[in-house]
Chains A and B, each alone.
Chain A
């Protein structure tokens, strides 16, 4: 357990990349969106009536979805936490097992903290009526659109999932280089295609449709959490025989 903690500290020894970068990128994206939405009057959209197209002012609702940049950055964090840091970690006498556990722990802690920050920013967004320009940067319809604790939970699960995916990718690259990474992506595509084929052959599309239309955001979060556990096990199995 001590080693796990030290591995997490190892990743944080230069905190800028791990702690600062996601927010620098988010801030940049936020400011760009703010400028754009300040120029564009909020919520005018064309409605086709018998008099032709009429511009109707609606109350609010400019969703940007740009917050996803933080999530994408977590993949990069996961990749670099293995790719760049594993060799020196092993040189210092850390086992692969501990390195993986400590790194995953760090990813979880970051996801928890950054998820909370996203939740707080969403609350501020709510309170300021979309930063004064009716812009929904931190609120995303359906998935990040519930009470604060669900936003936190979903953000946490989403960020952790992508970090774990990044870690696995980093391990695959470490072991099998570019060829292996390409095969890894191809394998994922095959899994999706196989699922689609199975559904198509068993004429289960309507069942699948009902399942997803009945799925709440909380339910989806649960599914993502299950997927994260699966990926975590995959990474663990892959790092066991990684060499540096």
Chain B
């Protein structure tokens, strides 16, 4: 996919390689009280992804907010098999760093271009967190291939 893909470069948060469909939001995500880890679904009232599941998605979002239960709730989502495949985000916080570590979820931040401007929900995204490289195949192109 690399010859037609858009490439973003960032910093490894948690290593690993994963690929999947992007789920993109411009809203920050609350862990405890904001998601149901047993279903992998966002439950926060007024969140643009309310009712949407992040299971097995490459979650692209500004960052974490809210309760200190962030890491434990996303840790539960890993135990329940509901975790995202990878996480790409802009704003580093202790919540998201610890959450990514205990989810053991390949994660990248500090990008050379804003992933929220480049990636749309439905795009196919390959994350090599060890190298800090993210390749994006746009939705239209991804459909043609499949």
Do these two chains interact?
no
